[in-house]
Amino acid sequence: MSMPNTRHRDAQTGVDEDNPLARRIVEVYHLLFERYGPQHWWPADMPFEVIVGAILTQSAAWANVEKAIANLRREDALNPAAIRALPMERLAHLIYPSGYYNAKARKLRAFVDHLGERYADSLDRLFALDTASLRAELLAVHGIGPETADSIILYAARKPIFVVDAYTVRVMARLGLADNGTDYHSLQALFTSSLPHDESLFNEYHALLVRHGKDVCKKSPQCDGCCLALICASPGA
DNA sequence: GGCCAGGACACCA
DNA sequence: TGGTGTCATGGC
């Protein structure tokens, strides 16, 4: 994972180095990467597993999601046909540790049904869509909202789209660049208009925001020990 | 015992 | 259109 060198990449990417907001977004990335290093989120060798994880992680702790995925793997059910073949009760039981198991069982089923009906279970075919069409296609599936759709596009399809989540809002609020009322697409646009459209960069940046949000912004109301403290506009916000 | 986690949907005014 | 309730386990 290489960090963007804004001094040299501007000419290549069109990122406006004179834009203080864009500079700040890039600066935050550098500071987070320096502090935490690469996060190794979802190496997409198993895109279907990534999609399952993206759905199961909705409002759930990742450790619990891992248990649910392990159950599915043990059942040899980490593929669309197997999930479709499972009785809903059995599917819900397997994903029980991730919480909301009945609701999430319906969501998983909705996705594999959609994938089967329209793409013959081929993620390659689904991912062949351009990003906007893919996003619209995913949003049409029950249980897939903006964040889950973007997570699938970024981490499974490996297309450059920025994922906004609760941690992103929390960290950006600390920096004075957002508040709790900032809508998803405005915050997403803040990143995509400030950074090179690079899939591995967006992957790493989102993972770093989650790491930082967990480590510091939540636990330390006064930004104690925060690597962003010097540029933090509103400690304690 | 309460809070929160890598959200989304249904319902209502 | 915006606000609220619901879905629910597991770790701290």
Nucleotide with smallest C1' distance to residue A103 CA: C7
Residue A101 confidence (pLDDT) above 90: yes
**Rounded Cα distance, A26 and A15, in Å:** 10
pLDDT of residue A14: 52
Nucleotide with smallest C1' distance to residue A54 CA: B6
pLDDT of residue A9: 46
Q: What is the mean pLDDT of residues A73-94?
A: 97
Give domain A47-156's CATH superfamily.
Hypothetical protein; domain 2 (1.10.340.30)
First and final C-alpha spacing in chain A:
31
Say whether the CB atom of A61 is under 7 angstroms from strand C. Answer: yes
Higher pLDDT pick, A114 / A167: A114
Nucleotide with smallest C1' distance to residue A98 CA: C9
3-class SS of residue A122: coil
**Rounded Cα distance, A119 and A161, in Å:** 22
**Rounded Cα distance, A122 and A124, in Å:** 5
Cβ-based neighbours of A198, under 8 Å, separated by 6 or more? A4, A160
Nucleotide with smallest C1' distance to residue A101 CA: C8
Q: Which of A136, A194, A186 is nearest to A164 (CA)?
A: A186
Residue A7 — very low, low, confident or very high, per pLDDT cuts 50/70/90? very low
**Rounded Cα distance, A2 and A204, in Å:** 10
Lowest mean pLDDT across A36-50, A119-133, A154-168, A189-203: A36-50
Residue A45 confidence (pLDDT) above 70: no
**Rounded Cα distance, A172 and A184, in Å:** 12
Q: How many angstroms separate the CA of A170 from the C1' of C1?
A: 24
pLDDT of residue A233: 62
- This prediction has a pTM of 0.91
| Average pLDDT of the residues of chain A | 88
pLDDT of residue A11: 46
Contact A202, A26 (CB under 8 A): no
Contact A55, A107 (CB under 8 A): yes
Say whether the CB atom of A96 is under 7 angstroms from strand B. Answer: no
Residue A236: Cβ within 10 Å count: 9
Cβ-based neighbours of A86, under 8 Å, separated by 6 or more? A75, A77, A94
Q: How many angstroms separate the CA of A46 from the C1' of C1?
A: 39
User: What are the boundaries of each domain within chain A?
Assistant: 6-40+163-231, 47-156
Bases of strand C lying below 7 A from some protein CB = 7-11
Please report, as a single letter, which amino acid is at residue A128.
A
Q: What is the mean pLDDT of residues A65-69?
A: 96
For the domain covering A6-40+163-231, report its CATH number. 1.10.1670
Say whether the CB atom of A103 is under 7 angstroms from strand C. Answer: yes
Say whether the CB atom of A185 is under 7 angstroms from strand B. Answer: no
Say whether the CB atom of A100 is under 7 angstroms from strand C. Answer: yes
**Rounded Cα distance, A213 and A168, in Å:** 8
Q: How many angstroms separate the CA of A110 from the C1' of B9?
A: 14
Q: Percentage of chain A surpassing pLDDT 90?
A: 69
Lowest mean pLDDT across A3-17, A43-57, A136-150: A3-17
Residues 3-62 (A) near nucleic chain B, CB < 7 A: 41-42, 53-54, 57-62
Say whether the CB atom of A59 is under 7 angstroms from strand C. Answer: yes
pLDDT of residue A13: 43
In this structure, what are the phi and psi dihedrals at residue A32, rounded to the nearest 5 degrees?
-65, -45
